Amino acid sequence: MRTTLLDLLRMKQAGERIVMLTAYDTPSAMIAERAGVRLLLVGDSLGMVVLGNDSTIPVTLDDMVRHAAAVSRGVQDTLVVGDLPFLTYASEADAIASARRMMQEAGVQAVKLEGGQPIVPIVRRLTELGVPVMGHLGFTPQAQYQLGIRVQARQASDARRLLEDALALQEAGAFGIVLELVPAVLAEAVSKRLRIPTIGIGAGAGCDGQVQVWHDVLGLHSAKSPRHAKRYGDIGAAMEAALRLYVEEVQSGAFPTAAQSSKMDESELAEALAGLPGTTP
Ligand SMILES: Nc1nc(=O)c2c([nH]1)NC[C@@H]1CN(c3ccc(C(=O)N[C@@H](CCC(=O)O)C(=O)O)cc3)CN21
Ligand SMILES: CC(C)C(=O)C(=O)O
Ligand SMILES: [Mg+2]
């Protein structure tokens, strides 16, 4: 049975921590589900970790639909959330059109939108229309050129606004909120004041769940991972070692052997070549 929004609420009430992870393609989604992840985010971090961009800004709705569809095809029991990318939910009409594509074409069960008060009416409208919406507060990467890549809401006034934004998103119908790069003590205070779960990234252990980026937890980066990430494997190094072997074996002639080759009868080949010009060794 696929994870439901109610499951997430119940997990918060029971004090069971929620595990969320990003994924961007079918085989990764299958591996995550096999590992026990039941909540996946097709993040617009896609642009940064998969498509070679240096922010999430260039990611298009077409990009998200294609990758979210791939992730959806890889899972059965996992709730899939898809980010709506930069400026695809600036008006109610755009938000509805974007959510429609993510749900109908990509097959996700929910969408995530960045921002506070200004997008509350949009969250309310989507929720009324039956679209499960997740919020995202604190450092919102789509506004990285305004915010700077840094911990948010350290001052009382900003911290208070973040709590008000979180309550407003909850009231508008959001089923959960990602808190990114928020001081741990603030994230904990917000989590305690909300009925809906908070999912932290760089926001401490007081959140109701955690989200991490696939490439960060697996060590799949050429560049260094963000400070808030923890690496649980060194898969990039494992990939490189395997590829070095492949390079060596092709160069030395050790690969391919007969086992990786395709066969035909010698007599058929002789007939095919009979009388044709060309040199033989
Ligand atoms: N690989 C990756 N991991 C992420 O968690 C992630 C992405 N990409 N792309 C989309 C957003 C952007 N995020 C980011 C990106 C960079 C930093 C970063 O450079 N952090 C600083 C520390 C900032 C501070 O503590 O003030 C660092 O040095 O790592 C943080 C979050 C989170 N998301
Ligand atoms: C970092 C997470 C929360 C995200 O929004 C993404 O991966 O795009
Ligand atoms: Mg995102």
Residue 81 CB less than 6 A away from ligand 2:
no
Can you give the residue ranges of every domain in the chain? 5-234, 239-273
Q: In terms of DSSP bridges, do strands 79-83 and 110-112 run parallel, antiparallel, or are they unpaired?
A: parallel
- Residue 281's pLDDT band, with cuts at 50, 70 and 90, is low
**Cα dist. 137→118, 120, 230, 258 in Å?**
12, 12, 21, 57
Distance 93 CA to ligand 2 centre (A): 24
The answer to whether 55 and 114 have CB atoms below 8 angstroms apart is no
Q: Which of 19, 41, 227 to mutate to test the pocket of ligand 2 (most atoms within 8 A of CB)?
A: 41
The answer to whether 81 and 41 have CB atoms below 8 angstroms apart is yes
One-character DSSP codes across 192-227: HH-SSPEEEESS-TTSSEEEE-HHHHHT--SSPPPT
Q: What is the mean pLDDT of the chain?
A: 96
Which residues are documented as binding site for 3-methyl-2-oxobutanoate?
A: 44-45, 83, 112
Which residues fall within 8 angstroms of residue 146, CB to CB, at 6 or more apart?
A: none
Length, in residues, of the chain: 281
Predicted local distance difference test score (pLDDT) of residue 280? 61
Predicted local distance difference test score (pLDDT) of residue 159? 98
130 pLDDT more than 90: yes
ipTM attached to this prediction: 0.97
| Catalytic residue positions, numbered | 180
Name residue, tokens 């909850």. Answer: 170
Q: What percent of the chain is predicted at pLDDT more than 70? A: 98
Q: Which CATH superfamily is domain 5-234 in?
A: Phosphoenolpyruvate-binding domains (3.20.20.60)
From 81, 120, 135, 70, select the one nearest 103 (Cα to Cα). Answer: 81
- Residue 279's pLDDT band, with cuts at 50, 70 and 90, is low
Q: From the CA of 212, give the closest atom in ligand 2.
A: 1
Residue 227 CB less than 6 A away from ligand 1:
yes
The residue whose C-alpha atom lies closest to atom 2 belonging to ligand 2 is 43
Q: What is the pLDDT of residues 190-220, one digit of tens each?
A: 999 999 999 999 999 999 999 999 999 999 9
Ligand nearest to the CA of 220: 1
Q: What is the pLDDT of residues 238-269, one digit of tens each?
A: 999 999 999 999 999 999 999 999 999 999 99
221 pLDDT more than 90: no
Residue 201 CB less than 6 A away from ligand 2:
yes
